[in-house]
């Protein structure tokens, strides 16, 4: 009874904490202007199914893809067991579903155990890659400090959660086996054989007393349960939020052609009015507060969702020609900085009002190093678009501050004056024909 | 062989029109190395008997570098002016010899009322071959090693990887691939208005890195499909001391050379 009350209280606290954090996230995303990406819903759902659910863009790195798939499938399926844990916890029962499900229950447990073991294995390999032998993108300066600790925390939590499950099963079986031996009716009492992985752990518990096994199994059960809730509440602070946000993030993918930058309609109106005196602008059109983006408020919803969905894998940065030739630009850092700036605004205070995404979080040098080659866009497994943020910030620099590099200003001046980025007269454009 | 390249204005004055507009682009109009590509495309169109014209003095920058530098105003000025000219001539089909022009005409002009059927020159020439209007035999490229560098705005951005390769296949040469090719192709470093500015501080130049990667395949010819890639990789090859040993050629130049044009 007491444990039921305690359980329910812990569960309620965990869910309340997570709900609070999700509302905070919604406040963060609401800072942005609308994305306008609610068109073509059928295509959005199918993109989500292919890219997020189906892991469709993980292929180019097969080892990482295979291990990620194990952790992903493991995470989703093993958490079905949480249903039983919650029911047991509230009702004060023990393995409530075992009898009703019969043989299926053992089948499921065997499946979960094997999957759990593979998850542990994959996480150990991930840790080894991150701390030792892995690719440069996992040891990149972008990750110095908290991001790297965050990544290690997540892997350790996963290993602990899965280990707790396996150890609990082993201790429970050992207890059951010992008590049936005492009754000397082992063959009748002990109808089930041990489950596949926990069965291998039984030697760990040889000689343990009944009460010790009981207490150990119970503590592992609590550890697994509290661990899941802690994990849930850790997620919103972590890069690992991607396990949830990847799905809506892919739903909000850019569906327009990759090579198309959204047109600013206010600019179109202005130019049309200039070119055609009879042009009547839309009287209801609201001029934008600002051209381009200086801060997160100027970006659109999908940009900020991108930032929260980024798991900092660095595939973008490892493909970026600017980054790979030692420039300061790192597309991953563009997304990380955007998220950090949203958090700073949410926290309020002087920094929220006095700082901006531009200059305080992302430098002009980074923005001007981009070749717009789209390698980062191609590389992202969840369709994050760092280039969109870079281009909007360039628009702010050029259209609000006239702060392009001087040579770019020369090229743009030439386009304006003689229709080419170089200072050749437009009248000479056809000279090649007879030269 | 003298070129037969009328302008739209000349045709209109004679009461004629052309099936295809050949969009030359700024580099193709003014840069010496890119002009060779422009001429090669024109020769191939002539050889295939394509009814085409250029805008000549009425052509103007598409606005691509301005837009990617963040100058939406200048981009739209260019685009709306160009669209007015193109629609004025009733243009329906465009062949562009530059992937940046190609992308902007194809994907961005429809936003502003300019909807055309737009082809990159590699796509158009490949179609001429398939239609039997043009024939190519290896000629001087027979047995040579050729590596193709995917232009970002043809490949990764517009998904066209096969047309340029299909053309190179016709040269009876050995076609090699760089490690980073097709959708993983590595930029030449020119895009996004980079070619008009000094690079930011770093430890290498993008085009040196890419030229090195191309040279590592042992290629005799680095084939490109973009005037800016051509400039960048030519400089890259020179940087690595391979000038005169390794040629950087646009696909159109290679095909025209093979056809002794």
Return the domain boundaries, chain B.
8-127, 136-258
Pick from A367, A370, A288, A372: nearest CA to B73: A288
Q: How many CB atoms lie within 10 A of CB A181?
A: 12
Tell me the DSSP string of A350-389.
HHHHH--IIIIIB-HHHHHT-----HHHHH-TT---HHHH
- Nearest residue on chain A to B26, alpha-carbon basis: A420
Whether pLDDT at A189 is above 60: no
What's the CA gap between B29 and B37, in Å, rounded? 10
The per-residue pLDDT for A353 is: 95
Q: Decide if pLDDT at B72 tops 80.
A: yes
What DSSP letter does each residue of A152-194 carry, written as one string? HHHHHHHHHHHHHHHHHHHHHHHHHHHHHHHTT-HHHH--SPP
pLDDT the model gives residue A248: 98
- Where residue B232 falls among pLDDT bands split at 50, 70, 90? very high
| pLDDT higher than threshold 70 for residue B127 | yes
Q: Residue A1's CB: how many other CB atoms inside 10 A?
A: 6
CB atoms B26 and A427 under 8 Å: no
Write out pLDDT tens, residues A242-284. 999 999 999 999 999 999 999 999 999 999 988 888 888 888 8
Q: Which of B70, B189, B193 minimises the CB distance to A321?
A: B189
Same domain, A368 and A328: yes
Alpha-carbon dihedral angle through residues B240, B245, B248, B249, given to the nearest 10 degrees:
180
SS3 A253: coil
The helix or strand, by DSSP H or E, that contains position A7, with its residue range, turns out to be helix A2-29
Span B48-65, average pLDDT: 98
On whether residue A44 sits in a domain, the answer given is: no
CB count in 10 Å sphere of residue A63:
9
Residue with the two structure tokens 């040098």:
A365
Say which CATH topology domain B8-127 has: Rossmann fold (3.40.50)
- Decide if A273 is inside a domain: yes
What's the complex ipTM? Answer: 0.97
Chain-chain contact of B191 with A372 (C-beta, under 8 angstroms): yes
Asked if pLDDT for residue A180 goes beyond 80, the answer is no
CA angle B167, B61, A264 (to 5 degrees): 110
Q: What is the pLDDT of residue A188?
A: 45
Are B206 and A325 within 8 A, CB to CB?
yes
Alpha carbon A48 to chain centroid, angstroms? 14
Q: Give per-residue pLDDT as tens, B24-53.
A: 999 999 999 999 999 999 999 999 999 999
Report yes or no: A300 and A33 within 8 Å, Cβ to Cβ: yes
Residues A173 and A318 in one domain: no
Under 8 Å between Cβ of B131 and B209: no
Nearest CB to B72 within list A267, A421, A430: A267
Give the pLDDT of residue A178: 83
Same fold, B8-127 and B136-258: yes
Parent domain of A332: 265-425
Q: What is the CATH number of the domain that holds A386?
A: 1.10.1060
Question: Is there a single domain that holds both residue A70 and residue A108?
Answer: yes
For A366, which residue in chain B has the nearest alpha carbon?
B200
Number of Cβ within 10 Å of residue B92's Cβ equals 12
Which of B78, B192, B198 lies nearest to residue A415, judging by beta carbons? B78
pLDDT in the model for residue A184: 52
Do A284 and A243 share a structural domain?
A: no
**What is the C-alpha to C-alpha distance for residues A48 and A381, in angstroms, rounded to an integer?**
11
Claim to verify: residue A284 and residue A218 sit in the same structural domain: no
Which residues, at least 6 apart from A108, have a Cβ–Cβ distance to it below 8 Å? Answer: A80, A101
Instruction: Let me know whether A350 and A404 are in one domain.
Output: yes
Contact A421 B190 (CB under 8 A): no
Q: Indicate the range of A87-101, A389-403, B199-213, B217-231 predicted with least confidence.
A: A87-101
* Burial label, B47 (beta-carbon count in 10 A; 0-12, 13-18, 19+): middle
Closest approach of chain A CAs to the CA of B124, in angstroms?
A: 20
DSSP string, A57-68: T-TTSHHHHHHH
Mean pLDDT of chain B: 97
- Burial pattern B132-166, b for ≥16 Cβ within 10 A else e, equals eebebeeeebeebbbbbbbbbbbbbbbebbebbbb
Cβ–Cβ below 8 Å for A398 and B69: yes
- The shortest CB-CB distance from B67 to any of A256, A261, A369 is to A261
Based on the domain organization, do A90 and A235 belong to the same domain? yes
Quote the CA–CA distance of A126 and A123 in Å, as a whole number.
Answer: 5
pLDDT score for A191 = 52
Q: Do A391 and B38 touch (CB under 8 A)?
A: no
Tell me the nearest-neighbour CA distance from B22 into chain A, angstroms: 12
Residue of B70, B77, B106 lying closest to A398 (CB–CB): B70
Say if residue A136 is in the same domain as residue A21.
yes
Say if CB A415 and CB B65 are below 8 A apart: yes
- Please tell me the distance in Å from A194's CA to the nearest CA on chain B: 49
Read off the DSSP letter of residue A259.
Answer: T
* Reported confidence tier of residue A149, pLDDT bands at 50, 70, 90: very high
What would the two tokens of residue B141 be?
Answer: 């490229």
The pLDDT confidence band at residue A187, using thresholds 50, 70 and 90, is: very low
Beta strand B117-120 pairing with B174-176: unpaired
Q: Tell me what the mean pLDDT of segment A150-166 comes to.
A: 96
Residue-wise pLDDT tens digits, B155-208:
999 999 999 999 999 999 999 999 999 999 999 999 999 999 999 999 999 999
Report the distance separating Cα B260 and Cα B141, nearest Å. Answer: 12
- Compute the count of residue pairs across chains A and B with CB atoms less than 8 Å apart: 216
B198 and A405 within 8 Å at the Cβ level: the answer is yes
Residue A182 confidence class, pLDDT cut points 50, 70, 90: low
Convert the pLDDT of each residue in B75-125 to its tens digit.
999 999 999 999 999 999 999 999 999 999 999 999 999 999 999 999 999
Q: Is the pLDDT of residue A433 over 50?
A: yes
Residue-wise pLDDT for A397-428, tens only, equals: 999 999 999 999 999 999 999 999 999 999 99
Once rounded to an integer, what is the mean pLDDT over residues A33-47?
A: 97
CA angle (B11 as vertex; B10, B17 as ends), nearest 5: 155
Tell me the pLDDT tens digit for each residue of A334-349.
999 999 999 999 999 9
Q: What is B136-258's CATH topology?
A: Rossmann fold (3.40.50)
Q: What is residue A276's predicted lDDT score, i.e. its pLDDT?
A: 85
**Which chain B residues touch A394 with a CB distance below 8 Å?**
68-70
- The answer to whether residue A288 scores a pLDDT higher than 80 is no
A411 and A335 in one domain?
yes
| Residue ending a domain, choose from A223, A251, A279 | A251
DSSP letters for chain B: ------BHHHHHHTT---SEEEE--HHHHH-HHHHHHHHHHHHHHHHTT--EEB-GGG----SHHHHHTT-HHHHHHHHHHHHHHHHHTT--EEEESSHHHHHIIIIIGGGGT---EEEEHHHHHHHHHHTTS-----GGGTT-EEEEPPPTTTTTTT---HHHHHHHHTTT-EEE--SS-GGGPPP-S-TTTGGGSPPPS-SS-HHHHHHHHHHTTT-SEEEESSHHHHHHHHHHHHHTT-TTTSEEEEHHHHHHHHTT-
A300 and A201 in a single domain? The answer is no
Which residue of B66, B157, B205 is in closest CB contact with A325? B205
Which residue of chain B has the CA closest to A397? B70
Distance of alpha carbon A395 from alpha carbon A83, whole angstroms: 50
Contacts of A119-122 spanning 24+ positions with Cβ under 8 A: A119/A70, A119/A71, A119/A74, A119/A75, A119/A78, A119/A158, A119/A162, A120/A158, A120/A159, A120/A162, A120/A163, A121/A70, A122/A67, A122/A68, A122/A70, A122/A71, A122/A74
Q: Are A269 and A62 in contact (CB under 8 A)?
A: no
Token digits of residue A292: 């381009």
CB contact under 8 A, B70 and A365: no
Q: How far is B222 from chain A (nearest CA, A)?
A: 19
Residue A131 lies in a domain: yes
Last residue of a domain, one of A191, A216, A251: A251
Residue A56 per-residue DSSP state: T
In a domain, A257, yes or no: no
Mean pLDDT for B120-133 is 98
Residues from chain A contacting residue B152 (CB–CB below 8 Å): 371-375
pLDDT of res. B1 = 60
A242 and A304 assigned to the same domain? no
Total count of domains within chain A: 2
A385-411 burial, b for 16+ CB within 10 Å, e for fewer?
Answer: bbbbbbbbbbbbbbbeeeebbeebbbb
**Residues A79 and A155 reside in one and the same domain:** yes
Kindly report, residue by residue over A378-390, the tens digit of the pLDDT: 999 999 999 999 9
Residues of A in contact with B192 (CB under 8 A): 370-373
Alpha-carbon B60 to chain mean position: 16
């Amino acid at each position: 009874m007491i444990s039921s009350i305690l359980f329910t209280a812990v569960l309620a606290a965990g869910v309340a904490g997570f709900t609070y954090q999700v509302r905070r996230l919604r406040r963060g995303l609401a800072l942005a202007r609308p994305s306008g990406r609610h068109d073509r819903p059928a295509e959005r759902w199918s993109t989500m199914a292919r890219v997020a659910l189906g892991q469709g863009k993980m292929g180019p790195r097969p080892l990482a893809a295979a291990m990620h798939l194990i952790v992903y499938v493991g995470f989703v399926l093993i958490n079905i067991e949480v249903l039983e844990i919650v029911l047991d916890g509230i009702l004060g029962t023990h393995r409530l579903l075992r009898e009703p499900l019969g043989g299926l229950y053992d089948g499921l447990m065997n499946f979960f155990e094997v999957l759990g073991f593979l998850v542990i294995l994959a996480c150990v390999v991930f840790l080894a890659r991150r701390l030792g032998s892995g690719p440069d993108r996992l040891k990149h300066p972008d990750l110095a400090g908290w991001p790297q600790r965050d990544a290690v925390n997540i892997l350790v939590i996963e290993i602990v959660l899965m280990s707790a499950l396996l150890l609990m099963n082993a201790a429970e079986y050992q207890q059951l086996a010992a008590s049936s031996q005492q009754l000397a009716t082992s063959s009748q009492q002990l109808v089930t054989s041990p489950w596949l992985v926990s069965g291998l752990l039984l030697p760990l518990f040889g000689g343990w007393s009944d009460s010790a096994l009981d207490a150990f199994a119970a503590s592992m059960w609590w550890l697994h349960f509290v661990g899941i809730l802690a994990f849930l509440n850790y997620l919103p602070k972590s890069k690992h939020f991607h396990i949830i946000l990847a799905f809506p993030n892919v739903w909000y993918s850019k569906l327009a052609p990759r090579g198309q930058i959204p047109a600013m309609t206010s600019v179109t109106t202005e130019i049309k009015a200039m070119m055609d005196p009879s042009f009547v602008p839309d009287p209801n059109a609201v001029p934008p507060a600002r051209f381009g983006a200086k801060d997160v408020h100027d970006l659109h919803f999908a940009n900020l969702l991108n930032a929260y969905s980024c798991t900092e894998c660095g595939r973008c940065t490892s493909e970026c020609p600017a980054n790979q030739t030692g420039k300061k630009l790192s597309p991953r850092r563009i997304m990380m900085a955007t998220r950090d700036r949203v958090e700073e605004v949410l926290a309020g205070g002087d920094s929220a009002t006095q700082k901006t995404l531009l200059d305080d979080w992302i430098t002009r040098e980074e923005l001007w190093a981009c070749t717009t080659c789209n390698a980062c866009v191609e590389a992202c497994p969840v369709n994050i678009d760092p280039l969109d943020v870079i281009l909007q910030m360039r628009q702010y620099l050029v259209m609000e501050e006239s702060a392009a590099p001087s040579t770019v200003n020369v090229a743009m001046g030439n386009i304006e004056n003689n229709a080419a980025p170089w200072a050749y007269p437009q009248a000479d454009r056809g000279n090649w024909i007879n030269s | 062989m003298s070129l037969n390249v009328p302008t739209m204005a000349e045709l209109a004055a004679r009461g004629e029109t052309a099936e295809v507009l050949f969009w030359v682009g700024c580099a193709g109009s003014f840069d010496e190395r890119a002009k060779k590509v422009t001429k090669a495309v024109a020769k191939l169109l002539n050889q295939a008997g394509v009814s085409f014209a250029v805008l000549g003095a009425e052509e103007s920058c598409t606005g691509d570098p301005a837009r990617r530098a963040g100058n939406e105003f200048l981009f739209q000025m260019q685009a709306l002016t160009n669209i007015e000219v193109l629609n004025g001539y009733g243009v329906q089909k465009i062949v562009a010899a530059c992937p940046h022009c190609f992308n902007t005409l194809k994907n961005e002009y429809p936003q502003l009322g300019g909807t055309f059927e737009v082809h990159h020159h590699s796509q158009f020439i490949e179609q001429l071959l398939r239609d039997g209007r043009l024939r190519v035999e290896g000629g001087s490229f027979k047995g040579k090693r050729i590596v193709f560098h995917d232009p970002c705005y043809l490949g990764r951005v517009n998904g066209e990887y096969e047309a340029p390769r299909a053309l190179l296949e016709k040269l009876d040469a050995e076609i090699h691939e760089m490690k980073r090719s097709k959708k993983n192709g590595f930029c030449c470093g020119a895009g996004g208005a980079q070619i008009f500015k000094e690079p930011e501080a770093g430890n290498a130049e993008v085009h040196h890195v890419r030229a090195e990667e191309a040279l590592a395949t042992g290629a005799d010819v680095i084939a490109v499909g973009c005037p800016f890639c051509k400039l960048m990789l030519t400089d890259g090859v020179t940087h690595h001391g391979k000038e005169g040993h390794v040629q950087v050629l646009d696909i159109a130049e290679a095909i025209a050379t093979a056809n002794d044009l």
